[in-house]
Amino acid sequence: MKKIAYTIFVLLIIFSFSSISFAQEKQYDTLGVYVGLVGGYVFPSNMGTTIAIAGGPTFNGDTTLNNGYLYGAKVGWLTPFTKRIMVIEFEYNHVTNRMDKLKNSGIESSDVDMSGNVNMDVFMLNLLARYPQGRFHPYIGAGAGYALVKVDDSAASVGGSLIPGGYTGGSAGVFAYQGMIGMDFDITKNIIMGLSYKYLATSKFNYDNSFNYMPATTSMNYGAHNILLSVSYLF
């Protein structure tokens, strides 16, 4: 048992020194600029939904979404003036979730089944704080930017009976923000793998559409938990 413990201790010491040596070599041999690809699974919250019928009543409810997916790209800079602790990053994500139901709105006698997608193209500027030494780099960060949201036209039904005219979609540009926490791992001095969590949300957005052939204005807001994997190349 002592031999095993001693062997593990020696291996940890060797790994620690190799990590320090690796980090020093990496620091001097790379520019600190990286590009990467990201993808993952999206767990959306309910979308608060207001449907204002032109010249008529206003209905408030929630649109439920199915779990979806995210993919995108990023480019970042490990700032040398902070010894690579602070990272400035530009990120693009495409996010897709499928609508499930319009609930508790009162617009129909019961929940309305929906079928269209909610798609977002999100452009974010992130600021991260990371641990720069060794091969493992835990980090936290936040970002803000712009999301172009597109809600698809959707068949709408109650209890299996289609609503004439369905629900037409629309699009809008809106402020977006996110918070994140994650861990990067240096496979080599140039290849980095990452695992992260982030919460992505938008402020309320509005678009003109129709429901059951009635002209309307719909307001929604979006929020989702995301589990992501990434791979990056460090120059």
Domain boundaries, the chain: 1-30, 31-234
Contacts of 207 (CB under 8 A, 6+ apart): 151, 169, 170, 171, 172, 217, 218
Global pTM?
0.84
**What pLDDT does 7 receive?**
53
CATH number for 31-234 (one of 3.90.79.10, 2.40.160.20, 3.30.70.1280, 3.90.780.10): it is 2.40.160.20
| Residue-wise pLDDT tens digits, 35-75 | 999 999 999 999 999 999 998 888 899 999 999 999 999 99
**What pLDDT does 121 receive?**
99
Q: Which of these, 97, 96, 95, 91, lies nearest to 37 by C-alpha position? A: 91
Lowest-confidence region among 76-90, 92-106, 188-202: 92-106
**What pLDDT does 5 receive?**
46
Main-chain dihedrals φ then ψ at residue 19, nearest 5 degrees: -65, -45
Contacts of 35 (CB under 8 A, 6+ apart): 73, 74, 75, 232, 233, 235
Euclidean distance between CA atoms 123 and 148, whole angstroms: 9
User: 25 pLDDT band (50/70/90 cuts)?
Assistant: very low
| Statement: residue 2 has pLDDT above 50 | no
Largest Cα–Cα distance in the chain? 82
| Sole residue written with tokens 């989702």 | 224
Average confidence (pLDDT) over 72-99? 98
| Residue-wise pLDDT tens digits, 154-186 | 988 888 888 888 889 999 999 999 999 999 999
Express as a percent the part of the chain with pLDDT over 90.
73
Q: What is the DSSP letter of 213?
A: T
User: 16 pLDDT band (50/70/90 cuts)?
Assistant: very low
| Residue-wise pLDDT tens digits, 133-158 | 999 999 999 999 999 999 999 988 88
